[in-house]
Amino acid sequence: MLLDALTSLVRRYGPFRSALAVTVIGVAVSAIITALTLVAPGRDLFPGLYLATLTPLALALPVIYLTHLAFEPADRLQQALRISESEAHKAQAMLRDAIEGFPGGFVLFDADDRLVLCNQQHRDMYAGIADLIVPGISFAELAHAVAERNVVRGTGLPEKYAEERLLHRQQRSPPLEQQMTDGRWILVNEQGTENGQTVVVRTDITQFKRASDALRESEERFFRVFQSSPTMICIIDAKSHRFSDVNESWLKVFGFERDEVIGRTSIETGLWTDPHQHQILLDILRDEGRVSGFVQQSRIPNGQLIDCIISGETLELDGRPHYLFVTEDVFERKRVDRLKNEFIATVSHEIRTPLTSISGSLSLLTGGAGGEIPESSQRLLTIAETNSDRLVRLGNDILDLEKIESGEMMFRNQTVELNTVAERALKINQAYGDQYGVRFKLTHQECGAMVNADRDRLDQVFSNLLSNAAKFSPRDGDVEVEVTVSRHNGMIRTTVTDHGPGIPEEFRDCIFEKFTQADTSDARHIKGTGLGLNIVKQIVEQTDGIVGREPNSSKGTTFYFDLPDSHARNHPADEYTPKDA
Extents of the domains making up the chain: 2-93, 105-204, 214-325, 334-406, 414-570
- Domain 414-570 grouped into CATH 3.30.565.10: yes
The yes/no answer on whether domain 334-406 falls in CATH 1.10.287 is: yes
Q: Write down the pLDDT at residue 578.
A: 39
pLDDT at 312: 92
pLDDT in tens, 406-442: 777 888 888 989 888 988 888 888 888 888 888 898 8
Cα–Cα distance measured from residue 2 to residue 501, given in angstroms and rounded to the nearest whole number: 121
Rounded to whole angstroms, the Cα distance separating 326 from 181 reads 45
Residue-wise pLDDT for 337-356, tens only, equals 777 767 776 766 677 777 77
Percentage of the chain lying above the pLDDT 70 cut? 78
Give the per-residue pLDDT at 30. Answer: 58
Question: Please, which pLDDT band fits residue 525 given cuts at 50, 70 and 90?
Answer: very low
Tell me the pLDDT tens digit for each residue of 36-95.
Answer: 555 555 445 445 554 555 555 555 555 555 555 555 566 666 776 777 777 777 777 777
CA angle 192, 196, 200 (to 5 degrees): 35
At the fourth CATH level, which superfamily is domain 105-204? PAS domain (3.30.450.20)
Beta-bridge mates of residue 361? none
**Whole-Å CA distances, 237 to 245, 293, 322, 377, 531:** 9, 21, 5, 73, 45
Rounding to the nearest 10 degrees, give the CA dihedral for residues 53, 56, 58, 61.
-130
Q: Inter-axis angle of helices 139-148 and 158-170, to 10 degrees?
A: 140
The span from the CA of 295 to the CA of 284, in Å, is: 13
The CATH code for residues 214-325 is 3.30.450.20
Going by C-alpha positions, the residue among 516, 509, 527, 540 that lies closest to residue 472 is 527
Angle subtended at Cα 488 by Cα 484 and Cα 494, rounded to the nearest 5 degrees: 20
- What is the pLDDT at residue 364? 80
Could you give the CA distance from residue 532 to residue 513 in angstroms, rounded to a whole number?
Answer: 10
Beta bridge partners of 153: none
Which residues lie across from 328 on neighbouring strands? 309
Can you give the pTM of this predicted structure? Answer: 0.43
> What pLDDT does 572 receive?
47
% the chain with pLDDT above 90: 19
> What are all long-range contacts of 456-461, with beta carbons under 8 Å and residues at least 24 apart?
456/412, 457/411, 457/539, 457/542, 457/543, 458/416, 458/418, 458/421, 458/425, 459/421, 459/424, 459/425, 459/428, 460/400, 460/535, 460/539, 461/536, 461/539, 461/540, 461/561
Q: Are 214-325 and 334-406 equal in CATH topology?
A: no
Residue 85: how many CB atoms within 10 A of its CB?
A: 10
In a 3-state reduction of DSSP, which class is residue 447?
A: coil
Q: Which residues pair with 254 in a beta bridge?
A: none
Q: For residue 423, with 0-12 CB atoms within 10 Å meaning exposed, 13-18 middle and 19 or more buried, which class applies?
A: middle
Angle at the Cα of 131 from the Cα atoms of 130 and 132, rounded to 5 degrees = 90
Name which of 496, 445, 443 is nearest 473 in CA terms: 496
| pLDDT per position as a tens digit, 217-238 | 888 888 888 888 888 999 999 9
Question: Average pLDDT of the chain?
Answer: 79
Least confident residue range of 4-8, 182-186, 488-492, 508-512: 4-8
